[in-house]
Structure 1
Amino acid sequence: MSLLTPEDQYRRAETLASLHAGPDVFVIANAWDAGTAKILTALGFKALATTSAGIAHSLGLGDGDITREASLANARTLVGATHLPVAGDLENGFGTTAEQIAETIGLAAEAGLVGGSIEDAVDDAIIPLPQALDRLTAAIEAARALPFPFAVTARAENFLYGHEDLKDTVARLQAFEAAGADVLFAPGLTTEEQIRTITSEVGKPVNVLAGGARLNATVEQLGEWGVRRISLGSNLARTAMSAAIGAAREIAEHGTFEFGKSRVLPHADIERYFG
């Protein structure tokens, strides 16, 4: 049974679909727990997503070590903390067969998600396109069997794994589009030329990963380059973790507490997001 009522899940799904339909670019902000989901909702973001690395690190695990059960339990927490649509980082579908990937989509829907991404990499290796299409098709068919428009994002992982082959990346995204994917995503792009090439060669909404050091562009610029959706991946989670590590290191190594004098919000200001 889904975490949400059928009416609420359909509303959230329709909201996400309308954002993808445009005309404006939007940021889908990646939360990793109920608290960050509430904060991002209060700050005015229009949709949220999970983050595999953020979840894993919060559980004391390495990125890629999280199980499907843990990932979807986290998704349920996020969904329950917001009225916004939430899409899931479903990694490689958490399965080796079409049946397992289809099952993942069904379980994601039960967790309250209204979208999810499927990668074309398994065990840190890009898989051949025919195999990737078989896996993606299983996800799409499972999504289409749901009573609401579950948005399937197809990911071409070339650039994320150091294979900066733009021609092959475009060909994969075009094949994923033809297979019926709702959103196309090639994480790891770093230049305007790469992004404009992809957005000009496909017809479905394109998601771009932003917020890190590799891609220096604003929301407005990315919209001008043809991007419809901007995700943040683990960038917010790593920003929070970096601040905590830096503060703790100062205490452990120097015995000082200077971190509290800069950019730390007062307790009362944070309480306003939860009180």
Structure 2
Amino acid sequence: MTSAGPAATLRALHHGRRPGDPLVLPNVWDAASARVFADAGFPALATPSAGIAASLGYADGRTPADEMFAAIARIVRAVDVPVTADVEAGYGLSAEELVGRLAEAGAVGCNLEDSDHATGALRDPEEQAAWLAEVRAAAGDALVLNARIDTFLRGERGPDAFVARARAYTEAGADCLYPILAPPELLPELAAAVSLPLNALAKPGGPPPRELGALGATRITFGGGLQQQATATLAAVAGRLWADTGN
């Protein structure tokens, strides 16, 4: 495949950004939420595996692959901006199958994480790098590859383990690196140690996107947080409605 339209647009959005002006990618979980954020002016969107799982009635990590790709396709069809999809660890698909399913759904980017869902442990970094290289070879430039690195999630609190994996995944062809749950105060050190854009997770009560950008993040995502906030708002509406019935 070759770089085309939306993929090239999404990739370009990661570059030439000023500190404090990161690419903010709202994580949308269905067609309606996608339209809300696209209509607000965001130039690209992301999907959260946790948010989609919740919207479909599954626990995080339990959504069947077919249902996940169908949900991604509905989101893509609903908007005219590029969409990047969280496809967890790839659902056991071959690189060619994964790239094909993403293309069929219309996604032009993806997250791939280096946790082994069967064991809950980190995958061997050389094996993960080889897998990412296979995905890059299958996709060419038609997929923006965000390599999620789970060292902080799995309890390795220092930067060294992240940096070693980041360099291997960079050589494998990643476009962006995502140290999920990295402490914000470490972002300057992490950003200085790598050559690719850095994705940071914005969490309720944590630094806002502009502050994360000033700390070194190029791209900001929210995981399932926006879906959780929307559900909390809906729960409040439901509570008021129930109270109004006199019960």
TM-score, normalised to structure 2, is 0.90
Q: Which residue of 2 aligns with 1:219?
A: 209
Within 5 Å, give how 1:103-142 maps onto structure 2.
103-123=97-117, 124-142=120-138
1:42 & 1:247 partners in 2: Cα distance?
A: 23
The higher radius of gyration belongs to 1
Deviation at 1:161, TM superposition (A): 3.0
Q: Which residue of 1 aligns with 2:9?
A: 15
Structure 2's unaligned 5+ residue stretches are none
Deviation at 1:218, TM superposition (A): 2.5
| Per-residue CA distance 1:126-154 (angstroms, 9 max, x = gap) | 1121221122222111121xxx5311111
Q: Percent identity?
A: 33
2:219 to 209, 212, 229: 229
Q: For this pair of structures, how many residues does the alignment match? A: 240
Q: Which residue of 2 aligns with 1:179?
A: 172
Establish whether residue 154 from structure 1 lines up as the match of residue 147 from structure 2.
Answer: yes
Q: Give 3-state SS (helix, strand or coil) of 1:153's partner.
A: strand
Q: Which residue of 2 aligns with 1:29?
A: 26
Establish whether residue 44 from structure 1 lines up as the match of residue 41 from structure 2.
Answer: yes
Q: Which residue of 1 aligns with 2:59?
A: 62
Kindly indicate whether the alpha-carbon contact (under 8 Å) linking 2:184 and 2:215 is maintained by their aligned counterparts in 1: no
**Greater CA deviation, 229-238 or 154-163?**
154-163
| Per-residue CA distance 1:195-238 (angstroms, 9 max, x = gap) | 1111000011111111333xx22222222222111111111001
Structure 1's unaligned 5+ residue stretches are 1-5, 259-275
Structure-2 change in CA distance of 1:106 and 1:239 (3 Å): same
Amino acid at match of 1:196: P
Deviation at 1:248, TM superposition (A): 4.1
2:121 & 2:168 partners in 1: Cα distance?
A: 19
Deviation at 1:190, TM superposition (A): 2.4
RMSD over aligned Cα atoms: 2.2
2:184 to 160, 179, 191: 191
Kindly indicate whether the alpha-carbon contact (under 8 Å) linking 1:22 and 1:228 is maintained by their aligned counterparts in 2: no
